[in-house]
Amino acid sequence: MNKHPLNQKILRRFLELNPNSYLARLSLRYLLRWGLEKKSFRHQIALTYLLNKGFRTNSLVDRLALTYVLNRGLKKDSLVARLVRAYLGKRGLAKQSLFDPMACALKNLLTKGDKTNTLLEKMALIYFVKRCDEAVDKGVSVSGWGGVFRLAQVEGINLINRNFKVLVNTPGGWQTAKTAVAFRSIKALYQENTDEFRYNAELGYWTAALESLYHVENVVRERLRHLEKEENLEDD
């Protein structure tokens, strides 16, 4: 029997998680991999918009440096690339993910939907919905719906990794997460959804998150058993 009751904060964190949190990440991955106009100037402008909407900073130079990385990269050993690399290192942004802030911005766009506030947001929403749908269709034509499921599994595992410290340090957190994620997994399995992308995405995401919870728990238990055996041998 559990020593701690279910933690309400953790319970809400998983039960109320907005599906756009992972659907946006999957859509963006497909866009970056299978987008039909990846080399177009319009595509670069759109991604730059996402990066600057999602990246939180008041520094214009930070934004310019990351925009350079997004559109030019740092592989070429040019003077500008060396300067940008040095600047990002000094600012502690050398390992800054470009994908995460873009995915966050796309999630916010999808969540707002028709309630977007500005003309620019409306144009961005129209562009990304259309281009992401095209990219998903292209990707599915190559790797099938199994590709969506597998990518969603990666995101589900990442969900547990991101919340690992909170779950471990919160009384009853781990058991609460298992309960909530199990519920979301069952809900995803039996959802009445004719959208195959969303169905495979949600099922892959939540089942992988649940498997990750049990896997980590089993690893920890096995490690504790091993340590206990070592202590018993030392006592003997």
Asked whether residue 2 is assigned to any structural domain, the reply reads no
Confidence at residue 16, expressed as pLDDT on a 0 to 100 scale: 95
From residue 164, give the alpha-carbon distance in Å to each of 4, 158, 159, 160: 18, 10, 9, 6
Asked whether residue 166 is assigned to any structural domain, the reply reads yes
Q: Which of 1, 46, 21 is nearest to 163 (CA)?
A: 21
Asked whether residue 82 is assigned to any structural domain, the reply reads yes
Structure tokens at 56: 């939180």
Asked whether residue 145 is assigned to any structural domain, the reply reads yes
- Residue labelled with tokens 């595509």: 43
Residue 180 φ then ψ, to 5°: -65, -45
Q: Determine the Cα–Cα distance for residues 34 and 45; give it in Å rounded to an integer.
A: 17
Asked whether residue 3 is assigned to any structural domain, the reply reads no
For the entire predicted model, the pTM comes to 0.84
Q: Determine the Cα–Cα distance for residues 108 and 44; give it in Å rounded to an integer.
A: 19
Asked whether residue 1 is assigned to any structural domain, the reply reads no
Confidence at residue 228, expressed as pLDDT on a 0 to 100 scale: 65
pLDDT in tens, the chain (236 residues): 346 688 999 999 999 999 999 999 999 999 999 999 888 999 999 999 999 999 988 899 999 999 999 988 877 778 888 899 899 999 999 888 999 999 999 999 999 988 888 999 999 999 999 999 999 999 999 999 999 999 999 999 999 999 998 988 888 889 999 999 999 999 999 988 778 999 999 999 999 999 999 988 877 777 767 666 666 655 55
Q: Determine the Cα–Cα distance for residues 134 and 16; give it in Å rounded to an integer.
A: 29
Q: Determine the Cα–Cα distance for residues 52 and 200; give it in Å rounded to an integer.
A: 30
Angle at 158 between CA 157 and CA 164, to 5 degrees: 90
Q: Give me the DSSP letters along 46-71.
A: HHHHHHHHHS--S-HHHHHHHHHHHH
Confidence at residue 218, expressed as pLDDT on a 0 to 100 scale: 79
Question: How many domains does the structure of the chain reveal?
Answer: 1
Q: Which residues 6+ apart lie within 8 Å of 159 measured at CB?
A: 22, 205, 209
Question: Which residue range(s) make up the domain with 203?
Answer: 8-235
Asked whether residue 229 is assigned to any structural domain, the reply reads yes
Confidence at residue 227, expressed as pLDDT on a 0 to 100 scale: 65
Asked whether residue 115 is assigned to any structural domain, the reply reads yes
Residue 214 φ then ψ, to 5°: -70, -35
